Amino acid sequence: MSLLRVHLINPSDVSFGLAVITPRWLFVLAAATPERFGTPVLADETLDRFDPSGVAAGDVVGIGIHTGNALRGYEIGQAVHARGAFVIFGGIHATLFPEEARTLGAADAVVSGDGDLVWPAALADCEAGAPKALYEGGRVEGTRFIPARWDLVPPGRYMWASVQTVRGCPKHCSFCSVWRTDGQEPRNRLPTSVTGEIVELRRRGFRFIILADDNFYPVSLQDLAQAARLPDPTRLRELQALRAARFELMADLAKLPADTVLFTQITMEAAEDPEFIDAMHAARIRGALVGVESVTPEGLKAVYKNFNLSGDALADRLRTFRDRGVHVLGSFIFGLPTDRAGTFEATAAVAERAGITFAQFVMLTPFPGTIDFDKWEKSFNGAPPLVEGIPITRHWLIPAARRPKFYMPHPAMTSDEVRMRTQGVWDRFYALPQIWKRSRCVSSLKARLAFVLVSKLYRQMYANTGLSTDSARRSTSVRWTRWLGRPCHRLFAGRPMPDLQMPS
User: Residue 310 or residue 464: which is nearer to ligand SF4 going by CB?
Assistant: 310
Build a one-symbol-per-residue string for 325-354: x at contacts with ligand SF4 by CB under 6 A, - elsewhere. Answer: ------------------------------
Q: Does 173 bind ligand SF4 (CB under 6 A)?
A: yes
Q: What's the CA gap between 272 and 316, in Å, rounded?
A: 11
Stretch that binds ligand SF4, among 107-115, 170-178, 398-406, 422-430 (CB under 6 A): 170-178
User: Residue 367 or residue 451: which is nearer to ligand SF4 going by CB?
Assistant: 367
| Closest approach of ligand SF4 to the CB of residue 22, in Å | 20
**Element spanning 475, H or E:** helix 471-492
Region 56-115 residues binding ligand SF4, contact defined as CB under 6 A: none
Stretch that binds ligand SF4, among 22-30, 93-101, 166-174, 191-199 (CB under 6 A): 166-174
User: Residue 33 or residue 177: which is nearer to ligand SF4 going by CB?
Assistant: 177
| Closest approach of ligand SF4 to the CB of residue 407, in Å | 19
Q: How many CB atoms lie within 10 A of CB 318?
A: 23
SS3 175: coil
User: Residue 11 or residue 218: which is nearer to ligand SF4 going by CB?
Assistant: 218
Residue 417, burial from CB neighbour count under 10 angstroms (0-12, 13-18, 19+)? middle
Residues in the chain: 504
Tell me, what DSSP letter sits at residue 461? I
User: Residue 270 or residue 484: which is nearer to ligand SF4 going by CB?
Assistant: 270
| Closest approach of ligand SF4 to the CB of residue 124, in Å | 34
Q: Say if CB 119 and CB 32 are below 8 A apart.
A: yes
| Closest approach of ligand SF4 to the CB of residue 11, in Å | 23
SS3 479: helix
User: Residue 291 or residue 366: which is nearer to ligand SF4 going by CB?
Assistant: 291
Build a one-symbol-per-residue string for 205-244: x at contacts with ligand SF4 by CB under 6 A, - elsewhere. Answer: ---------xx-----------------------------
Q: Say if CB 172 and CB 181 are below 8 A apart.
A: no
Q: Does 368 bind ligand SF4 (CB under 6 A)?
A: no
Terminal Cα distance for the chain, rounded: 38
User: Residue 122 or residue 173: which is nearer to ligand SF4 going by CB?
Assistant: 173
Q: What's the CA gap between 189 and 442, in Å, rounded?
A: 33
Region 22-41 residues binding ligand SF4, contact defined as CB under 6 A: none
| Closest approach of ligand SF4 to the CB of residue 421, in Å | 23
Stretch that binds ligand SF4, among 30-38, 47-55, 175-183, 243-251 (CB under 6 A): 175-183
Q: Say if CB 480 and CB 459 are below 8 A apart.
A: no
Nearest to 30 by CA among 119, 93, 105, 118: 119
Supply angle C-alpha 378, 380, 386, rounded to 5. Answer: 130
Q: Does 179 bind ligand SF4 (CB under 6 A)?
A: yes
Q: Kindly tell me which residue out of 26, 159, 166, 169 binds ligand SF4, with binding defined by CB under 6 A.
A: 169
User: Residue 63 or residue 169: which is nearer to ligand SF4 going by CB?
Assistant: 169
Largest CA distance in the chain: 64
Between the alpha carbon of residue 256 and those of residues 164, 195, 211, 246, 444, the distances in Å are 16, 8, 14, 16, 24
Tell me, what DSSP letter sits at residue 264? E
User: Residue 69 or residue 264: which is nearer to ligand SF4 going by CB?
Assistant: 264
User: Residue 108 or residue 293: which is nearer to ligand SF4 going by CB?
Assistant: 293
Q: What's the CA gap between 395 and 392, in Å, rounded?
A: 5
Between the alpha carbon of residue 320 and those of residues 317, 356, 445, the distances in Å are 5, 10, 26
Build a one-symbol-per-residue string for 182-211: x at contacts with ligand SF4 by CB under 6 A, - elsewhere. Answer: ------------------------------
User: Residue 108 or residue 214: which is nearer to ligand SF4 going by CB?
Assistant: 214
What does residue 386 show for φ and ψ, rounded to 5 degrees? -105, 145
Stretch that binds ligand SF4, among 104-112, 113-121, 172-180, 425-433 (CB under 6 A): 172-180
User: Residue 173 or residue 295: which is nearer to ligand SF4 going by CB?
Assistant: 173
Between the alpha carbon of residue 365 and those of residues 193, 395, 459, the distances in Å are 36, 10, 19
Residue 448, burial from CB neighbour count under 10 angstroms (0-12, 13-18, 19+)? middle
| Closest approach of ligand SF4 to the CB of residue 114, in Å | 16
| Closest approach of ligand SF4 to the CB of residue 338, in Å | 18
Q: Say if CB 292 and CB 313 are below 8 A apart.
A: no
Stretch that binds ligand SF4, among 164-172, 236-244, 445-453, 480-488 (CB under 6 A): 164-172
**Element spanning 438, H or E:** helix 432-438
Region 246-305 residues binding ligand SF4, contact defined as CB under 6 A: 267, 291
Q: Does 162 bind ligand SF4 (CB under 6 A)?
A: no
Give me the residues that bind ligand SF4 (CB under 6 A), please. Answer: 169, 171-173, 176, 178-179, 214-215, 267, 291
